[in-house]
Copies of this chain bind each other. A is one copy, B any other.
């Protein structure tokens, strides 16, 4: 019952305008489940990020970022009573016009199974419920092709993604 408790425990969120409902769907016939629950186990998330070689981030900052994300989508692999976080993505948004997708990650053991596409399609579907019409992201060169396949465009009308970093 561990994982059901995980999904259904009470949530205390101040993000009243955020998507925070719980939706679980089984993916095909595999023991994979997709969830939009905003309750994410920070340690599991960091382990998933470790698996793709991302630099560790302060848990306090990760927790705050999740609380301030408009949408979080997770994919779990369930075996017997054990759940394992194998996919994750989150979205910042004004809930009205624009959204930006961050931290899209699929565990290497589960890559090549279409889970990334499934994750992104779920995000698009959820954001469209809010009539959000501009969904954006910043893609590393090696994943630009992947996002193009989902329907994302690079620099439409010569609009350029720009970054500011502290010097």
Contacts and interface: CB of A to CB of B under 8 A. Distances in A.
Interface of A: 14-17, 57, 61-62, 64-70, 90, 92-100, 102, 124, 128, 131, 133-141, 144, 147-148, 150-167
Nearest to A127: B164
A17 B164 contact: no
Q: How many copies does the complex hold?
A: 2
Contacts of A97: 57, 61, 65, 102
B100 A61 contact: no
Given A68-B95, A92-B94, A94-B92, A136 B154 contact: no
A140 B158 contact: yes
Q: Secondary structure of the A side of the interface?
A: mixed
Contacts of A100: 92, 98, 100, 136
Nearest to A142: B158
B155 A160 contact: yes
B154 A139 contact: no
A166 to B, nearest CB: 6
Contacts of A166: 128, 133
